[in-house]
Amino acid sequence: MSNKSKSPWRLDGQRALITGGSSGIGFATAREFASLGADLVLVARDPERLDRARATLEAEIPDCRVDVISADLASDDGRQDVLNGVGGPLQILVNNAGTNIRKRMSELSQQEYRLVQEVNLVSCFEMCRLFYPLLLASSPSCVVNNASVAGLTHLRTGAPYGMSKAAMIQLTRNLAVEWAADGIRVNAIAPWYIRTPLADQVLADPAYRKDVLERTPMGRVGEVEECARTIAFLCMTASSYITGQCLGVDGGFSVFGF
């Protein structure tokens, strides 16, 4: 075994499943993982975007192995399709898939509320439940949930989104304790505004962007690579004594008081 493969700062020999892996933070995480030696399984709904993501990664990192599965994680059938497609083994699960509908509570329909919960929270819970046997068989293994600072404090993202992210953070804590003896670590990250197509839609409003930057001590929007590197760290043996934590990737937003 080479010295590189023994490095606690790499992911050689690890197989990682990343949901929402065809764009944004998910794709940046896939690129980071591949550069660190991991094999990948990317999940998203759009098969064409998945194929483009795979082609890009294989062109950039010729020796990486990338499998893709097109599935809707908001449905039981979609999640089962992923489980059937992955097989095994699996050392890393990254629950990154998410959505939001930006409306006041009084304007939301029940269908819209349920969609946000199904995509953000239920899919995270069910993916953890479904993949527990594979993670156990491959332990030491780990899970990282992509939550949000909206799960820590009020944001203008709407109640259902904040509720789903807060529940993801609590799920992280509970599973970390429940699965510690099984050799499965469970952590989360809580991003603030990160430069993605979805964030760019609201940051295009100059007044809104000004408010965001004024509430960010570092004075800028985050980059997807900064989230990806944090997720990668939480999956390395370099972080082997870290579990049950929610790590803010927020430029200081969550600790910015008066």
Q: Please name the helix (run of DSSP H) or strand (run of DSSP E) that holds residue 225, with its range, or none.
A: helix 224-235
pLDDT for 75? 95
pLDDT for 5? 52
Is pLDDT of 245 > 60? yes
pLDDT for 68? 98
Tell me the catalytic residues. 161
Q: Average pLDDT, stretch 213-221?
A: 97
The string of pLDDT tens digits covering residues 73-89 is 999 999 999 999 998 89
Is pLDDT of 3 > 50? no
The string of pLDDT tens digits covering residues 11-69 is 999 999 999 999 999 999 999 999 999 999 999 999 999 999 999 999 999 999 999 99
List the strands of the sheet with 92-95, edge to edge.
Answer: 66-70, 39-44, 15-19, 92-95, 141-146, 184-191, 246-249
State the Cα torsion 25-147-202-207 to the nearest 10°. Answer: -120
What percentage of the chain reaches a pLDDT higher than 70? 98
Output the pTM of the full model: 0.95
Is pLDDT of 131 > 80? yes
Is pLDDT of 1 > 80? no
Amino acid at 225: E
